[in-house]
Every structure is written in structure tokens, then in C-alpha cells.
Homo-oligomer: A and B are copies of this chain.
Amino acid sequence: MKNLLVAQSGGPTAAINATLYGVIKAATENNVNKIYGAKFGIKGVLNEDLIDLKERLNGEIKLLKQTPASILGSCRFKLKNLDSEEEYKKILHIFRKYDIKYFIYIGGNDSMDTASKIAEYFKLKNVKDIFVIGAPKTIDNDIEKTDHCPGFGSAAKFVATIFSELERDCSVYNVKAVTLVETMGRDAGWLTAASCLSRVNGFDGPSLIYLCEKEFSEEKFLTDIEEKLKEKNSVLVALSEGLKTKNGQHILENLQKENKKDMFGHKQNAGVAKHLEEVVRENIGCKVRSVELNTPQRAAAHIASKTDILEASIVGEKAVEFALKEKTNVMVTILRKEAENYEVDYSFTEIKNVANRVKKIPEEFISETGTNLTKKAVSYLKPLIKGEPQIKFKNGIPLFVKIF
């Protein structure tokens, strides 16, 4: 048997190391000789910065499933086009030097572009004995051809849980108040949509949900809030970080051009929630607060979804399985079965079908008002956050593993 190389790329998630776990597990069970990890994504290959994973993880491999962020390190690095051969030559050289037969790249849309380019280069050069497989991961859930993406379920569970807690927190005073909560997702509103899952046990959840898929109007936003304030004291609002105006421009883009500096003389860098907090304060005048959920959304392994962690690790196993079957230039996909209870199958798709694309929330998932999700959306989202893994704690905090 020859060797396997695995690397992680793009933004970290709470489940990306679960996929690595699945890769190591399947590769070990299938008697792959050496399992190498490249440090900091494809840059680790280019820098010949590889480590022996079986040696390094001795005994602690199960902790991978509860350790957030890319344990191998990550990068945001775009390979040049194929007509610029240098990087690809180097990669092929390293693969040959370490006798790599299987290369698994765990990442999002951009990382799939990297995997695909390498596979295409090999094809171009008639290299037929190295197999390149993509394993999807992203909290944004925006990869095509897969029902959903490993990493999303855990981030969605964090968002739903925090919204359910904030809904309680916001409702303690009997005064009119607006709370604006910004979630990640510049191009697709899936995580913002997950805020609606805070309602699954009968609580109100967010009163309004603004997705980046829908055109955002400040005027309508203010009217919506005023209407809700007539019905109840505490209005909780979910906002996509990527909210756009009619012409597809980010809502802060023009403002940033007009006023380059903020009060401190700094270039402005605030988020949509902070901006809209001031809009509400000035136009409605009630108590208003903004919360940006920020990077904890992708890092909060302590509230991971059991379903997500399990699926993420199976995706890793399937990546090895497809590699051993000598597939190449494909990405593992999760397919949802047509069944009463949630069940999935695993398959693959050619990477060219997914690289550099963005899967947005479909129209049928968004209510007519544009500020809520449909039942269909809830049915889609609900199973993804189900189940709580048994997290091991030590000294009051979750136990993680690291390899460098």
C-alpha cells in the first residue's frame, strides 16, 4: 500500500477535525501505509511541511472529534492557473517523494478549486496513480451538490441555542426593546436562517429574520420593527452579515465610501448589526442593543451537533473509500433520503460542479414577508442540529488535542 496525504483549508469549523478523524480511521482500517498531514493546507505541501499523523496523534485520536478549528492548520491560498506550472510541479514532486497515492483536501468552495486544479494538472500530465478527493466543510452550508455541509449543523446548533438564550435574556424587562443579532454568512443566509430553530420548543425566537438572499431596505426594516413593537415588548432580530441593497451592493458599502473615517479617525469596520442599532436608535428611539456572534459560531465545539460530528467523520471515511476505489477529482456529498425520519446516504460529485459556486437559500424556504422561514425550511434545518455528543471536560473546560 502507498501513502495518504490529508490537509485542511479555509475557515475552521467545529467539525473539520471530525472529518480528519474519519480519514485517519478509514485509512488505518484499510491498511494505508503512512498517513501524512500537511501543515497549513496546500502551503504545507508546497513547503514540504508534512507530519506523520498516526505517530503524532497516538492515543488521542478520539479527541479530534471534539477539538474545534483545523488541527493541521489552514490557509487561504489560491493556486495559480494551470498554465503557470511551477506550483503544480512542486506538488507533484513532493507527492512522488513521499509516495503519496491518495490526497484528501478538507475545505469549502475555494479549497475545492485547489483540489480540482491539482487533479486536472495530474490528468494533463498523464499521472494516473494519484487520486484527489475533496471533503466538504463550511459553517456557511453553501456548497452545491450536497444536501448540507459538515460544520454547518454545529454552527447552526450554536446559533439556535444562543438565540433561544438571548430570547429569554431580552424578555426580562417590561420595556420596549430591540435586540439585533448578526450571524456569519456573507453570501448565503443559512446560519441566519438557523436562528428560527430557537422556536422549536414553543418559544418565540427571533421576531424578524433578514437573510442576505433578500434585498434589504432600511425603510422596510424600520416599519417591520415598529409593527412588531406594537405586538410585544422585546423584538429580537436576526441579521445576515452580508445584507445587500436592491442593486446587490452590501448595505455598508456606500456608507463606507462616503465616510471613510469613524469618530476615532479610523477607517470604519463595523458590522451590519452595529450600524442598524444606530438606525433604530435614531428612528425609533427605543432601547436597542446589537450582538455580533462572530467567530464563536465556527469555533463552539462545546455545543456541537451530534448529527454533524457523526456525518463529518463519515465524510472523512468516505473520502478514503472513494480514494481507494481510485476515484479522482470528486468531492464527497451527503444525500438526504426521502424518508419520514431523517436519513442520509453518501456519494460523490465531480469537483467542477461545486468549486467556486455558492448555494443560496431557495425561494421556497423563505416566507412571503421575506423576514421568516417556511415550514419546509424548518424541516430541512431541524435534523441537522439534533443530538449532543458526550464532550469530555477537564478542569471545567472541554478537552482538546493539538499536534503542533
* Residue from the list B69, B282, B295, B394 in contact with A171, Cβ < 8 A: B69
- Are the CB atoms of A294 and B295 closer together than 8 Å? no
The answer for the CA separation of A265 and B198 in the assembled complex, in Å, is 34
Asked whether A95 is an interface residue with its Cβ less than 8 Å from the other chain, the reply is: no
| Distance in Å: Cβ of A121 to nearest Cβ of chain B | 24
| Distance in Å: Cβ of A35 to nearest Cβ of chain B | 20
- Are the CB atoms of A291 and B294 closer together than 8 Å? yes
Minimal Cβ-Cβ distance residue in B for A388: B393
Residues of B within 8 A of A278 (CB): 262, 264, 266-267, 269
Provide a sorted-by-A list of 8 A–B residue pairs whose CB atoms are within 8 angstroms. Answer: A68-B168, A164-B400, A197-B395, A200-B397, A305-B396, A385-B397, A386-B395, A387-B396
- Given the interface pairs A165-B69, A173-B75, A256-B263, the reply to whether A394 lies near B201 with Cβ below 8 Å is yes
Interface stretch, picked from A155-163, A322-330, A353-361, is: A155-163
- Are the CB atoms of A396 and B385 closer together than 8 Å? yes
Asked whether A402 is an interface residue with its Cβ less than 8 Å from the other chain, the reply is: yes
- Are the CB atoms of B12 and A169 closer together than 8 Å? yes
Interface stretch, picked from A220-228, A296-304, A331-339, A368-376, is: A296-304
Interface string of A6-50 (1 = CB under 8 A from B): 001000100000000000000000000000000110010000000
- Given the interface pairs A161-B398, A396-B385, the reply to whether A69 lies near B172 with Cβ below 8 Å is yes
Interface string of A57-72 (1 = CB under 8 A from B): 0000000000111100
Minimal Cβ-Cβ distance residue in B for A174: B40
Copies in the complex: 2
Minimal Cβ-Cβ distance residue in B for A294: B291
- Are the CB atoms of A260 and B259 closer together than 8 Å? no
Chain A contacts with B in 229-284, Cβ cutoff 8 A: 255-256, 258-270, 274-275, 277-279, 281-282
Residues of B within 8 A of A382 (CB): 395-396
A interface residues, how many (CB within 8 angstroms): 83
Asked whether A186 is an interface residue with its Cβ less than 8 Å from the other chain, the reply is: no
* Residue from the list B43, B201, B282, B398 in contact with A397, Cβ < 8 A: B201
- Are the CB atoms of B174 and A73 closer together than 8 Å? yes
Residues of B within 8 A of A395 (CB): 197, 200-201, 382, 386
Asked whether A399 is an interface residue with its Cβ less than 8 Å from the other chain, the reply is: yes
Asked whether A292 is an interface residue with its Cβ less than 8 Å from the other chain, the reply is: yes
Given A69-B169, A166-B296, A267-B278, 12 other A-B residues pairs in contact with their CB atoms under 8 A: A160-B396, A165-B301, A166-B295, A168-B299, A169-B295, A262-B263, A267-B281, A269-B274, A269-B278, A291-B292, A303-B303, A388-B391
Asked whether A128 is an interface residue with its Cβ less than 8 Å from the other chain, the reply is: no
| Distance in Å: Cβ of A103 to nearest Cβ of chain B | 20
Minimal Cβ-Cβ distance residue in B for A70: B172
Minimal Cβ-Cβ distance residue in B for A396: B385
Minimal Cβ-Cβ distance residue in B for A162: B296
